[in-house]
Amino acid sequence: MCLQCVSREACVSRTSMETQKRGEMALTDSGIKALKPRAGRYMVSDGRGLSLDILPSGKMSWLYRYSFDGKREKATLGGYPDLTLRKAREKRDEMAAQVASGKNPADEAKQRRAGQSTNPTVKEFGERYFKEQVVRRWKDPKAIRRYLDNEIFPTLGEKLLKDVNALDVQALVYRKRDNGQVQAAMQLRNVIKQMFAYAIETQLVTINPAVMVATRFIGKARKRSRVLTPGEIRLYLRTVYQSNIRRQFKLALHIILLTLSRKSELLLARWEHVNLEAGEWLIPEENAKTAKPHIVYLSTQVAAMFRELKALAGDSELVMPGRGSLTRPFAVNALNKALEGLTFDMDPLTIHDLRRTGATVLTEHGFNRDVIEKALSHEAGGIRAVYIVAEFAEQRKKMLQWWGDYVDSIVNESKVIVGNFGGGAA
C-alpha cells in the first residue's frame, strides 16, 4: 500500500485514475469476452505494461511490456482464456518484481524454452536431464524415459524442482513398493536421485530429496528367480483368459510364455515380418534388444493365436495396433499394466518371469543350453560367443513345439478352456 493511501480501496481507486489519465482502461472479464477480432492485429491494455494481443483469427495472448537497462522488452505470458485475467495480472506483478530486482524476465523465458530455467518445474528439468545426461551416457535410455513419462512427470511434473521434498519422493516410491514391485521402486528412487544430483551440479537446488528416502525401508532389491510351477502356469492362463482385459492382451500374455519373446518385441511386431505359412516371426534389429535380427519359430498353438491377432488387427500393419489407432502400437507398459490389474491366487509375477519359466522348464527337460539361449535371443559371452554361431533352427522349432504341447497338457489336466484361438473374442 502506498503512503498516500489510507486504505486498499483508495489505493486501487488512485491507480485506476492514473491509468485512465494515460488513456488506458483496466480490463474486465466481461469486457474481454466482448472483444471481437478485426481485419488486423490489435492490442488492448490493462495497464502497468499488461496487454491483450488479439489476432484476426480470434486468438488472444497476454503480453507484458517493460524497460530493462534502457531497452524496451516484452514477454509473452500465455493465451487467454487458459491464462485468466487474474492470473495474467499475477504474472505481470511477478515479472515487475523481477525487473525491480535486476532480472530480465525475457532471459528467463528463453532459458525456460531451452529447458534451462533458473526455477524449472520437474518436467522442464527432467527433459533437460534426459537430453544432457541420459541420452549421452546411458546405453539404453528407454528405461529412464519410461520412469520419467509414466511415474515422475504425471505426479510431480508441474511442481517446481526446488519445492520437491523427501515426502514427495517417498510417496511415489512407496506406491510402487506397496504394489509388490520392490525392484522397480528401488530403480525409480535411483532415477530421481540421479536427476537431482545433476540439478545440484547445475546449481538449481541444494538438497537431493531422494537421498532422504532410505533404501532399507523400500526393501531388498534381489535378482528375481521366480519360476512358475505347472500348477501356477495353469492358474496363470486360467486367470488371464477369465479376466476382462482386452483379447489382444490375453493372447499376448500367452504368446510371450510360449515363444520366450520380450513384450516390447511383440508390441512392435508388424505383419510384414510374420510368415504364418512358414511359422516364422522375424524380429528386425530395430525392435530387438540385442540390436540384431532374430527369428521366432511359431508352434502350432502360437500360429493360431497370431491368426486371431490378424483378425483383430483388421487393416493395420501392426500385429497389435493400439487403442483407437491402426498406425500406433500400445504403450510399452500396456501389458505390465494389464498384468498388474489381475489378481492371482499365488505369489506376484512379472512378464519377464514367463521367459524365465520357459527357459527353466526346457533346461530341466534336457534341451540344449545353447538352443535355449538362442530362443531367448541372448548374446553368448566369452569364448562361446566366438565358437557358437549356429542358429539351431530345426532344434528351436522342435523345442518350442514341445513347449507349446507341454503347456497345453498342463492346461488340459485342469480342463481349463483358454479360448478359441482360431478367432472370435473371449
Indicate whether 332 belongs to any domain: yes
- The β-bridge partners of 50 are 47, 64
List the one residue out of 373, 398, 339 whose CA is nearest residue 260.
373
Q: Are 312 and 357 within one domain?
A: yes
Residues comprising the chain, all counted: 426
CATH no. for residue 128? 1.10.150.130
Indicate whether 175 belongs to any domain: yes
Q: Are 207 and 355 within one domain?
A: no
Q: What's phi and psi for 2, nearest 5 deg?
A: -75, 160
**E strand spans, 111-207:** none
Indicate whether 5 belongs to any domain: no
CATH no. for residue 83? 3.30.160.390
Domain ranges, residue 381:
230-413
Q: What is the DSSP letter of 327?
A: S
Indicate whether 420 belongs to any domain: no
pLDDT tens by residue, the chain, 426 residues: 443 333 333 333 343 334 434 444 588 989 998 999 998 899 999 988 999 999 988 899 999 999 888 888 888 888 898 889 999 999 899 888 888 888 887 766 665 555 456 788 999 999 999 999 998 887 778 889 989 998 999 999 999 999 999 999 999 999 888 877 888 899 899 999 999 999 998 888 999 999 999 888 887 645 567 899 999 999 999 999 999 999 999 999 999 999 999 999 999 999 999 999 999 999 998 888 878 889 999 999 999 999 999 999 999 999 999 987 888 888 888 898 888 888 888 887 889 899 999 999 999 999 999 899 999 987 655 544 444 445 789 999 999 999 999 999 998 874 444 444 333 333
Amino acid at 245: I
Q: What is the CA radius of gyration of the chain?
A: 30
Indicate whether 273 belongs to any domain: yes
Residue 424: CB atoms within 10 Å: 11
The whole-number pLDDT of residue 193 equals 94
Is residue 327 within 8 A of residue 318, CB to CB? The reply is: yes
Indicate whether 200 belongs to any domain: yes
The whole-number pLDDT of residue 380 equals 56
Residue 23: CB atoms within 10 Å: 7
Q: Are 247 and 300 within one domain?
A: yes
Q: Are 321 and 211 within one domain?
A: no
Q: Are 155 and 212 within one domain?
A: yes
Q: Are 109 and 127 within one domain?
A: no
Residue 345: CB atoms within 10 Å: 8
The whole-number pLDDT of residue 81 equals 87
Domain endpoint, select from 151, 182, 217: 217
How many CA within 13 A on the CB side of residue 75?
26
Domain endpoint, select from 191, 217, 243: 217
Q: Are 311 and 364 within one domain?
A: yes
Q: Are 79 and 146 within one domain?
A: no
The whole-number pLDDT of residue 108 equals 65
Q: Are 316 and 189 within one domain?
A: no
Q: Are 241 and 389 within one domain?
A: yes
Is residue 55 within 8 A of residue 39, CB to CB? The reply is: no
Which SS3 state, helix, strand or coil, does residue 238 take? helix
Indicate whether 329 belongs to any domain: yes
Q: Are 178 and 249 within one domain?
A: no
- The β-bridge partners of 223 are none
Burial tier of 317 (Cβ tally within 10 Å: 0-12, 13-18, 19+)? exposed
Indicate whether 244 belongs to any domain: yes
Q: Which residue has the cell 560367443?
A: 385
